[in-house]
Structure 1
Amino acid sequence: MFDVLVYLYETYWRPDACPDPVQLQRKLTAVGFEREEIREALQWLAGLSVAAESVAAQTQASSLRVYTRDELEHLGQASIDFISFLASAGVLPPALREVVLDRAMAIAGGPVDLEDLKIIVLMVFWSSGEEPDALILDELFVAPEDRLIH
């Protein structure tokens, strides 16, 4: 599923640039993605759209987030730490943080792999029409061992 999401991000610069779901499914099949992988990704994206709409009206300047036991177990410490880092850096507002959490909780299994969470964060920014700044893109894409230290 995550490969499909990354493909969509790289191919369509905004969600509204994507074709309708039927045509998109055909294109993804033609590119070589498996039917089940496409189905999961499209369902996940539909949930992303619903979650984004439900928090669009929220304009909280700041908030304190307390995680439930289920969230702690499902997300894992590395993912929670990364979400906290983004929020404390001021790049993940509370409303978008809640969308990230909603979509991460929608992933089967657990704990959520940090690399998968980064894709979720990227797709949340993508769905909101926002481009994260260069430093955040670096955090989302570049492996720590590949970073140059200045």
Structure 2
Amino acid sequence: MFEVLVFVYENYWRGDACPELEQLGRKLSAHGFEAEEINEALVWLDGLNLAAQNTQLTPDLSPHPAVGRAQASTSMRVYSVAEQDHLGAQCLGFVSFLESAGVLPAPMREIVIDRAMAASGAPVSLDDLKIIVLMVYWSFGEEPDALVLDELWDDAEFRLPH
């Protein structure tokens, strides 16, 4: 499924540029993706579209006041046992890192967690979580900051320790 999501991200720069799911399915099939993989990705994308449509962000990516109360800076997100098991320590640490860096506001974090929980396989790999984060930004028509984008695309396997 994640290969399909990467293809969609690379070929449709913004979520609103992406064709309807039925047409997208035909295009993915024409590009040689397996029917089961396409179906799983389309169901996942439908959930992402629904979550993004029901969440409004202001231009600075903070929660829109009309959508309810913003999360207080002293709030703490407590992850359920199911979330901890499905995401694993490495992914939860990465989400925490993005939040503390100020690039993943609470509403987007919740969509990332929701979409990660909807992904098959447990625990979700860090590389797959990075794709999910990119897709959440994509669904809002936002591009992450250059440093964040670098962190999301960076392959730690090839880093040299200093």
Range of TM-score over shorter length: over 0.9
Q: 1:51 to 1:108 in 2, by over 3 A?
A: same
CA deviations 1:5-58 (Å, max 9, x no partner) are 000100001111112222211111111111111111110011111222333335
Partner amino acid for 1:112? V
Aligned counterparts, 1:121-140, within 5 A: 121-140=133-152
Q: 3-state DSSP class of the match of 2:54?
A: helix
Partner amino acid for 2:21? P
Aligned counterparts, 1:12-51, within 5 A: 12-51=12-51
Partner amino acid for 1:95? P
Q: 1:41, 1:53 → 2: CA distance?
A: 18
1:60 match: 71
Displacement after TM superposition at 1:60 (Å): 3.4
1:111 match: 123
1:95 match: 107
Tell whether the 8 Å contact from 2:16 to 2:141 is kept in structure 1 after alignment.
Answer: no
Q: Percent identity?
A: 63
Displacement after TM superposition at 1:92 (Å): 0.2
Aligned counterparts, 1:62-77, within 5 A: 62=73, 63-77=75-89
Greater CA drift, 2-11 or 53-62: 53-62
Tell whether the 8 Å contact from 1:55 to 1:99 is kept in structure 2 after alignment.
Answer: no
CA deviations 1:47-75 (Å, max 9, x no partner) are 11122233333543633101111111111
Greater CA drift, 28-37 or 12-21: 12-21
Q: 3-state DSSP class of the match of 2:144?
A: coil
- Which segments of 5 or more consecutive residues in structure 2 lack a partner in the other structure? 57-66
Q: 1:133, 1:147 → 2: CA distance?
A: 21
